[in-house]
Structure 1
Amino acid sequence: MSVYDTNSESDTGFADFVKGGGVGLANPAVSKSRRRLLDLINRLHSTGAQVDIDLPQIAVTGSQSAGKSSLIESISGITLPRATGTCTRCPTECRLASSTETWKSIISLRFIKDANGQLLGTARNEQFGEVIHDKAEVEERIRRAQRAILNPNRRSTDFLEGEDEDLPENLLSFSTNCVSVQITGPGVADLSFCDLPGLIASVGSTGNEGDIKLVKTLVESYISKPSCLILLTVACETDFENQGAHHLAKMHDPEGKRTIGVLTKPDRIPPGDEAGWLNFIRNEREPLENNWYCVKQPSSSDIKNGITWAEARTKENEFFAMTTPWAEVDPMYQRYLRTSNLVERLSNILSDLISKRLPDIQVELEHAMEGALDQLAKLPKEPSKNPLHEISALLAAFSMDVSKHVEGKPDEEGILQSIRPAQEMFKRDIRGTVPQFRPFERSVAGDQVLFAAPSFLSNEEDDKAGYDGGGEAFHDCICVDEVHTRTLHARTRELPGHYPFVVQTSYILTFTEKWHTPAKILCRSVYGVLTELINRLITEHFGSFGQQLLEQRVRVCVQEHLKKQLEQTEARIEWLVKLEALPYTLNTHYLSDYTEKFLAYYKGARSKQEHGALTSALESSHSTVSEILSGLNTVGISGVQGEDLAKLLPADRMEASLRIMADVRAYFQVAYKRFADNVPLAIDYDLVRGVDRGLLATLSERLGIYGSNGKDICEELTQESPQVAGRREELMKKLERLQSASEELMGTS
């Protein structure tokens, strides 16, 4: 059984009683199976697993001078260190075991945390001094062991010998590390307990106010656990309402299911107040599931007079058997009086709790280990012992990933899929610069701005917006008479009917000059999409590595690399735009074909405008055509077909201008398709694919990992962030504790 005492009182200890040969309440009826359960729980506590899982235990709580130290000493047969006020400043665990061998005690230091207050893996148990065979030496050894616990920065052996004044001042006020006292011998009870720092109500003028909260937190870390049985010690000499330990216990066990009450010092009840305390024994006041008990320990004068353990137990029996009102308590409540009854009840309750909890403890251990492993798996990969190799591997993996993306991935969020909308917009913008020629004079073209789009383009363009016959504003259209005027102004020494090529060139420049902006917009759009992708890949590959220093440096290097590729790409686009300022093509067949088609298109539209009546008559009246052909035959003109009649119309004075319009419009068809392909190709080659070319070599060179200082640079880059390193260490220590506890359980299965 584990008894955890949360207070050290100021009354005198049982030194003389212990020296006189008194021992604990040995219970020979305790079964071997119960002893094995108790030993198992003690071993689990030795691993430190109580930090992670809920282990069965008993915590004794009480206000100062509540008599619980006397109770513990009566049970254990040893004397605890005493002083005025609170003297217990770290847990002191005692493990008692009955044995036929000579009485002995081994005192050890158990460190659950290191000198910096960080949890260790498996708790470290360190024997403090030689084996003790004289009970009178235990108190002093425990006191020195507590001093060693409070000074974790010094060797524990420094506190084994020497006078008190030679020992250093305590570094800590309190500690969660504990002193473990193992006692075996004839007649020793099979149980354990732990004396914890007592709850502090005030610290006085020389105390530290922070200690009040520290002690309260330490006590609550025990009694707040569901498998902790709370042994609440209350002194009958003080008003019940004034004893703060009860309020703390009730806060964590409001229904009283795991609290066992103990009334001490019943001989100091003021006359006339006995009935009020009997209501606790009858479980009528502050009822508890496991009831209230009452014990009577020897007085200070009895101990000084050398009372023996047997005499103390006899006097306790006489007190409850002969003192009113305890002697008059109904027989059914007599079992809640005397120390022996309390110890037996505690032993039964704890044994039952251990038996019920063991299967759950195994499951909880497995779940806790799985949880710790899952959390470890979510942490960034632990730094390698070879930082250069690790960084090289990371850079290579990043470079390969970039290469896969720029080559194209069958994913709607791929780089090629992401830039396609911008490419389509660029193509529409270039097509939108088509010259809007109108084969009509400006004076009559107002009613002819909208006319049928060329049918021969229907299979080529999927978007007719802005094209011939489209809805361009009237002032943006170029009328045939305006073309004619420009040709006349451009003539120098040409023969009549001939015009310089500068006219076509000037019109070609009106649309090629507009191509620079859409091309630059496309380049910047692709750069933005590419930058977003690269930054995401940098975060994926390096974001959780080290202290993000590698990520930051890679990001800077890649940004510089991207900007260099952007500058190169924009220079290429400038070059392509300049090329288009000089009209040229070897695709003469394509150009000639479109020139003839556009010339016929413009002539047809103009003919309908100027000779609409004749054309309509010829198209609508077959008899009219026959009459004209018959008349021509009469005057000796034969062989003329109906479709030849239009040729008899007078020559159009705008013939040359229409030809220039057809030349320019046909060249646009050739040039825009060429430019709409070349710019995206250049961007793809110089920017998208360009970011991959030499990326790995660039990163390696700029990071300097293969230089003379490469080793130092790699070590700096691989340093893990303190947060991640701390979390990894914490989880590894937790796994170590849980695995140790699991091995203890498996070893007893």
Structure 2
Amino acid sequence: MVLTQVASANLEGLCSKEQLELLNTVDSLRSQGISHYISLPQIIVCGDQSSGKSSVLEAISGVSFPVSTGLCTRFPTELILRTAPHISVKVSIIPHNPLRRDKQSPSTDFHEQLDSVQQLPELIENAKAYMGIKTLGKAFSNDVLRIEISGPDRPHLTIVDLPGLIHSETKNQSASDVHLITQIVKNFMSKKRSIILAVISAKNDYANQVVLKLARDTDPRGLRTLGIITKPDTLAPDSSSEKSYISLAKNLDVVFRLGWHVLRNRDTDADTWSLAQRDTQEKEFFSKSAWASLPESSLGIASLRSRLSKLLLHQIASELPSLMSEISREIASCETELKKFGDPRTSPQEQRLYLIQISQLFQSLMQAAVDGTYTDPFFSDSESDAGYPKRIRAIIQNLSRDFAKEMAERGRFYRVVDSSKKSETTSSHISLTKDEFVTRVVDMMAHRRGRELPNSFSPTIVTDLFREQSQLWESIVKRHVKRVWSAAQVFVDDLVSHVSDLETNEAITTAVVKPKMEAVLANLELKTANLLQLYRKDHPITYNSDFTEALQRIRLERHSDKLDGILKSHFPNASLESTSVHLGSTYVNFQSMRRQLVQSVEPDLYRWSAAEALDSAEAYYEIAFKRFIDEISIQVIETGLVAEIREILSPLAVAKMTDDEMEAIVGEKENIRVERKKLEAKLKLLSDGSETCKRFSGFRTLGTTLC
């Protein structure tokens, strides 16, 4: 490799200190992998294989790279040129995916710096080995080889050279190689802040060169593409091919906003010139050929260096506002992701503190929900699908009301209907008239009769009647308890999700909430079964004075129709609904009325005692029915469910946890720790880049032109 003097007249005054710092800032962002997240202003060199890209790079940089026919660039190469008092060369590898920058990726360890350039070829070969490219023609890589060259006569410029596009597979280049290179080039071209240097060789018809098609696909309006024509000396003078290419260079055929530029590079097979001799020969060629009709600003390497430096500075300055906005959005995204992880928690103290903070917020919102105080934003709108499930007190109240209503409407197995309605029997209930019900009780008594007199009944009749009548309670109450528990489970899941990050939420749900809620359900089922047993298995017991009142009311209702008829026959003008009636001169036959009242009593003692037993069973059912609903609400729902879910994640429960339990629940998993470190590193990098960019928010490239 040879470093040669580059004419600096065109570079003098081109880059101020601030402009240079701006270039270095963008390079720094790129070196850290920011370009993986954000498109950075850059110049990329693209072209078909053997189009002369490497010779263009050599001419621009003043660095003689080893180039030979049959060999090609096998990885993206970022060339950073800077003016400095002393010569310095640095070579490093930037992994394609910054997320893989770890100890398992050997390419991240490759960083070399030289005081002289003699060892650069050897370093480049070593870099190829690090990227897995050990045999020429056998592999390509999308990792970036970064070469930084400083010297007293280097231009201020950064360009990225991409692998040459392959038209078809060969014995040394497989179909997968063709696809990989095309994808690499497309990826770089598609970045909206990239300036495309589309290099084409005059040796071939430009219509057949793949690079122009890709440039058109990714930059349809040609706003950010500069065409480079190489090897113009291979065209026969005054030939149609030469005229066609001159027309192309004048931007008359394939039109690019940035125009075209022509270079006459040295032939690596035939020419043995130094780079200085190459520049001289190029000037001589353009001065004596038909290419002289083009403006000097579109010919030769000297004008191209100046043109590219100005173009890159202009691109950076014009894209700076949108770049800053995009960096700000990425910073906000990073901060949001970090907030999801919460504070770092690697030690037992950090873990316990973190979980206590979660539990305090959990208990505060739990208390508000249980009390029915829905002022916190967590509860959302009660009318929304997301808001109502979080209002657990309202849900419990509504479900309990529905439970009481269902018990009243469907709790009785025997349903007494008017004599005008037809009796029916279903799987869930039996409908029958009062007389039919009494007849059924008579049959029951016949099978259970003991030593009691004909006008009395065994207490077991009331027990059996109540058990039959309440046999539907079990299915109704179990359904109710399961509904309330399911609603509570949804509420607790929503609450845990609200107070914790995604990873912790899953851990708390798995380790704490799910086992606890399953235990709560088992306890609810046990409490419900115990309550049902008191009513379904044990003998009816009550000391409630309401029982007597209920029994008298039921008996009165049973005899009311007959008694009303008798009284109406003796007092035809009296209102039986009135509490005080003046009869006046109405004649009353008390003997007849007494006889009718006595005869109204059931003459069949068995039916009379059956009716009395039925009245007692119905009176007890009314008392037990109301009591059972209250007991389910208090002993099962409030005591067994509400009180338990309040303590699922209380600070006291957290305080009782062991360090191992704490680690299992809120200890950061290895993938979270790695991701947190990456996000923190990314955030720092973006923040530093943002601060640097802000210093140049008013920067403009004064006095520069694009072509």
Please give the range of the TM-score, normalised by the shorter of the 2 chains. Answer: 0.7 to 0.9
Task: Give me the identity figure in percent.
Answer: 20
Partners of 1:149 and 1:175 within 8 A in 2: no
Tell me the CA shift for residue 684 of structure 1: 3.6
Amino acid at match of 2:38: I
**How far has the Cα of 1:516 moved from its partner?**
3.2
Return the alpha-carbon distance in structure 1 between the equivalents of residues 663 and 586 of structure 2: 102
Is 1:314 equivalent to 2:314 in the alignment? no
User: Which residue is equivalent to 1:466?
Assistant: none
Given residue 682 of structure 2, which amino acid in structure 1 is its aligned partner? K
Tell me the SS of whatever aligns to 1:260: strand
- Name the amino acid aligned to 1:71: V
Q: Which residue of 2 aligns with 1:651?
A: 598
Tell me if the contact between 1:547 and 1:721 (Cα under 8 Å) persists in the aligned partners.
no
**What's the counterpart of residue 383 of structure 2?**
none
Contact 1:229-1:259 within 8 A present in 2 as well: yes
Contact 1:263 1:294 in 2 (8 A): yes
Q: Which residue of 2 aligns with 1:57?
A: 42
Query: 1:334 offset after TM fit, Å?
Result: 4.7
Aligned residue for 1:456? none
- Listed one character per residue, the Cα deviations across residues 361-408 of structure 1 (whole Å, up to 9, x for unaligned) are 222221221123234435677655325665677678768877776676
Aligned length: 655
Q: Deviations over 1:442-472 (max 9, x none)?
A: xxxx57999xxxxxxxxxxxxxxxxxxxx96
1: CA distance, partners of 2:332 / 2:291: 54
Quick one: distance in 2 between partners of 1:485 and 1:421? 34
Return the offset for 1:227.
Answer: 1.5
For 1:545, the equivalent position in structure 2 comes to 503
Between 1:736-745 and 1:685-694, the stretch displaced more is 685-694
Contact 1:423–1:680 (CA under 8 A) maintained in structure 2: no
- Report the equivalent of 2:73: 88
Q: Aligned-pair distance for 1:181?
A: 1.7
Structure 2 partner of 1:326: 291
Query: Residue type matched to 1:585 in 2?
Result: T
Give the Cα separation in 1 of the matches to 2:687 and 2:563. Answer: 98
Structure 2 residues without counterparts, runs of 5 or longer: 375-390, 424-429, 576-580, 698-707
Shift of 1:261: 0.7
Amino acid across the alignment from 1:62? G
Residue in 2 that maps onto 1:274: 242
Report if aligned partners of 1:372, 1:731 keep a CA contact under 8 Å in 2: yes
Instruction: Give 1:507-522 correspondences, 5 Å limit.
Output: 509-522=464-477
Q: SS where residue 743 of structure 1 aligns?
A: helix
Letter in 1 for 2:115: V
- Secondary structure at the counterpart of residue 278 of structure 1: helix
Q: If the length of structure 2 is used for normalisation, what is the TM-score?
A: 0.77
Report the secondary structure of 2:598's partner residue: coil
1:605 corresponds, among 561, 567, 576, to 561
Q: Which residue of 1 is the match for residue 254 of structure 2?
A: 286
User: Partner of 2:631 in structure 1?
Assistant: 681
Change (3 A) 1:168 1:354: closer
Look up the match of 2:155.
189
Matched AA of 1:368:
E
- Matches of 1:394 and 1:170 in 2, distance apart? 58
In structure 1, what is the equivalent of residue 87 of structure 2?
104
When normalised by structure 1's length, the TM-score is 0.73
Residue 30 of structure 1: aligned partner: 14
Contact between 1:297 and 1:316, CA under 8 Å: does it hold in 2? yes
396, 400, 403: which is aligned to 1:415? Answer: 396
The CA deviation at 1:356 is 1.6
Match of 1:441 in 2: none
Q: In 1, Cα distance between the equivalents of 2:346 and 2:398?
A: 37
Q: 1:403 to 1:745 in 2, by over 3 A?
A: closer
> 1-side partners of 2:11 and 2:317: how far apart?
19
Q: CA deviation at 1:107?
A: 0.9
Residue 60 of structure 2: aligned partner: 75
- Residue 267 of structure 1, CA deviation: 0.8
For 1:346, the equivalent position in structure 2 comes to: 308
After TM superposition, list the pairs within 5 Å mapping 1:501-650 onto structure 2: 501-502=457-458, 506=461, 509-534=464-489, 536-538=491-493, 540-541=495-496, 544-545=502-503, 548=506, 551-554=509-512, 555-579=514-538, 581-582=539-540, 584-588=541-545, 590-608=546-564, 611=566, 614-615=569-570, 617=572, 619=574, 626=585, 628=587, 646-647=593-594, 649=596
Match of 2:193 in 1: 227
Measure the CA separation in 2 of the matches of 1:572 and 1:390. Answer: 41
Q: CA deviation at 1:326?
A: 2.1
Structure 2 SS opposite 1:513 = helix
Assess if the C-alpha contact under 8 Å between 1:62 and 1:68 holds in 2: yes
Amino acid in structure 1 at the alignment position of 2:100: G
Q: Name the residue aligned to 2:691.
A: 743
- Say if 1:237 and 1:265, in contact at 8 Å, map to a contact too: yes
Instruction: Encode CA deviations 1:718-747: one digit per residue, 9 max, x unaligned.
Output: 566788667655544432331231233246
Call closer, same or farther: CA 1:605–1:116 in 2, change over 3 Å: closer
Bigger radius of gyration among the two: 1
Matched, 1:178 2:145: yes
* Counterpart Cα distance in 2 of 1:527 and 1:233: 73
Deviations along 1:519-576, one digit per CA (max 9) or x if unpaired, are 4421332123313422552465279335946533442453144214312321221123
Identify which range, 69-78 or 733-742, moves more after superposition: 733-742
1:62-461 → structure 2 map (5 Å cutoff): 62-99=47-84, 101=85, 103-112=86-95, 117=100, 127-132=111-116, 135-150=117-132, 173-185=140-152, 187-202=153-168, 204-270=170-236, 272=239, 273-300=241-268, 303-304=271-272, 306-307=273-274, 309=276, 311-323=277-289, 325-327=290-292, 329=293, 333-378=295-340, 384-386=346-348, 387=351, 411=391, 413-430=394-411, 433=414
Task: State the one-letter code of the partner of 2:114.
Answer: E
Distance 1:350 1:428 in 2: 83
* RMSD, aligned CA: 4.7
The answer on whether the counterparts of 2:78 and 2:145 sit within 8 Å (CA) in structure 1 is yes
Residues 362, 745 of structure 1: 8 Å contact kept = yes
